[in-house]
Amino acid sequence: MRFLICLAALIGAFLAVAPAGAQQLLHQERSLYRNIFVTQNGDERCMLFRWPRPLGRESCKLLHEPQKLIFDYTQMMLSGLYLDPNPKRILVIGEGGGTIPTALQEMFPNTQIDLVELDKAVDGVARNYFEFKPGPNTYVFIEDGRVFVKRIASQKPNYDMVLLDAFDADYIPEHMLTKEFLEEVRAIMVPRGVIVANTFSDSALYDHESATYRAVFGSFFNLKLANRIIVGRVGGLSADDLATTRKNASLLEAQLMRRGTGSEFLLPLFSTKVDWDPDSRILTDQYSPSNLLNAMPRRR
């Protein structure tokens, strides 16, 4: 009887964390860096780094609406276009299922997009299971994002926009959280270039990350839901940038509506409120305890 009670408890615990519906495992592999799983639940296909107890989905798409952005954070990352609605050269660090670079190359077919992904297996899964097809002006580099930034600096690429979306199973790799890394990113951008970064909104890292981005890029917009998206400029925001976002939103509305988002959702999220401790310690190559801080709740 005790065995049956324990078995029932285990089954109940699994059902509590398992997604609703019949989830099918389409693919699994062990790469050099992680386990990778591809699942499907009805029309929704997802990439995960943990399964069958996913703590987060890395990328998802709807098979019958492939242009629609499912996650709020992917929609929020495109809000960087409100500061520059016509970038000529974009750097994206972190591929996932290729959702963001696919949207960008469809919206800006003449824009050069450099996409950097550490894990060759992730790139293969994006192509084979998420229909990621690099366009003629999209270049994929399989290497560490920070190594890429250091390597390309001598070429003075002058990116108009940089999107940081590199995650492992837990969070952003710690060497891509630091002041030194962000300074390296700033050095490959044009004056007033746009930085967009996907972060978490509710961990002990929040204050430290905020202070670090502020130290390198100056003031920035905070867009917060479950994830927090930092949107800023080299040199910090100007007094006119909030008005700029509203003006440019109308130029992009049709394109973003096709992807399930738009100004009605995005514009109210723009905030410059400093909701962190400005005296928080800045993350550096000598101090970046991301695993410890990310596991701790944020103090309010």
| pLDDT 10s digits, 197-211 | 999 888 788 999 999
Whole-angstrom Cα Rg for the chain: 20
pLDDT tens digit sequence for 133-180: 999 999 999 999 999 999 999 999 999 999 999 987 678 899 999 999
**Comparing C-alpha atoms, which of 169, 147, 223 is closest to residue 56?**
169
Q: Is it the case that residue 264 has pLDDT exceeding 80? A: yes
pLDDT tens for residues 236-256?
Answer: 999 999 999 999 999 999 999
Query: How far is 188 from 248, CA to CA, in rounded Å?
Result: 24
CB-neighbour burial class of residue 68 (10 A; exposed 0-12, middle 13-18, buried 19+): middle
pTM over 0.85? The answer is yes
Domains of the chain: 14-62 (no CATH), 72-294 (3.40.50.150)
pLDDT at 52: 76
pLDDT at residue 79 greater than cutoff 80 = yes
Edge-first strand listing for the sheet containing 189-200: 138-142, 112-117, 89-93, 159-164, 189-200, 227-233, 220-224
Average of per-residue pLDDT across 262-280: 96
- Mean pLDDT lowest among 77-86, 137-146, 174-183, 281-290: 281-290
Backbone torsions φ then ψ of 70, nearest 5 degrees: -75, -45
Instruction: Catalytic residue, from 114, 123, 160, 165: name it.
Output: 165
124 CB-near residues (< 8 Å, 6+ apart): none
The set of residues, in sequence order, having a beta carbon less than 8 Å from that of 152 and lying 6+ positions away, is: 188
For the question of residue 165 being annotated catalytic, the response is yes
